[in-house]
Amino acid sequence: MLEERGEDSAADALRGGELATALAALRAEALEPPEAVQLCFDYILVEERERVANAAVLAELLAPMLGTRAPAGIAAPAVHATPMPAADTPTTPPERPRPVNIADFIDEMLAQERAEPPGHRRAS
């Protein structure tokens, strides 16, 4: 959870402190060899990371939907799909193009592909 929130230093502290102590105790008591315990622990961590990441994605997807469906007067949840603290800086591009259409980008991509000789496609 801490990693998901970007609180890496707190996560490191937890990992190096309480978690390391608990893991050492587990190793001491386990019947399995230490590598097996470590491997098992690694799998648990991977699965937990995945579970938390999935929950975060779900929250991000639900937030805008709840915002649009909420009755007037109720503020939309303050959840953003992407972290963007620095994106609020006042600098803007010199010429601000209108919001772009993804399908137009795809048209441009396909046009580029058609224009490039087969042997040179996307070769740098």
Partner 1 sequence: MTTATIEKPPVATPNVASNQPAIPRTAQPKTKTILVGFDFGTNKSCVLAGAPGNTDIVVSKVVPTLVGYVKDGIVDGIIAGNARTLFGEEALRAMLHVRLVAPMTHGVVADADASRDFLRHIRSLVDPAGTAEIRAVIGMPANADAKAREDIRRAAFGLFDKVLFIPEPFLAALGFRDDSRVNQPNYLDPVVNSLFIDIGGGTSDLCLVQGYFPTSQDQISIPFAGDAIDELLQTELDRIYPNNGLSRHMVREIKETHGYVGPSRKPLDVKVIIGGKSHTLELGDTIGRAGNALIEKIYPALMTLIERAPSDSVVALLQNIIVTGGGSQIKGIDAVLQKKLTDDGYEAPKVKLAGHDFKRYVAIGALKAARAARDNQWQVLLG
78 binds partner 1 (CB under 8 A): no
Q: What is the rounded CA–CA span in Å between residue 108 and residue 124?
A: 18
Rg, C-alpha atoms of the chain = 24
74 binds partner 1 (CB under 8 A): no
Question: Mask 89-108, x = binds partner 1 (CB under 8 A)?
Answer: xxxxxxxxx-xxxxx-xxxx
Two tokens, residue 120: 């040179």
Two tokens, residue 87: 């994106």
30 binds partner 1 (CB under 8 A): no
Contact 60, 81 (CB under 8 A): yes
Q: What is the rounded CA–CA span in Å between residue 60 and residue 67?
A: 11
**Residues touching partner 1, count (CB under 8 A):** 61
Q: Which residue do the tokens 């800086």 mark?
A: 89
Two tokens, residue 15: 């990992």
Query: Smaller CB distance to partner 1: residue 29 or 88?
Result: 88
* Amino acid type, 71: P
Minimum separation from the CB atom of position 78 to partner 1 (A): 12
Minimum separation from the CB atom of position 6 to partner 1 (A): 6
Minimum separation from the CB atom of position 104 to partner 1 (A): 8
Residues found near partner 1 in the complex (CB under 8 A) = 3-6, 8, 15, 33-35, 38, 42-43, 46-47, 50, 53-54, 56-58, 60-61, 64-65, 80-84, 86-97, 99-103, 105-110, 112, 116, 118-124
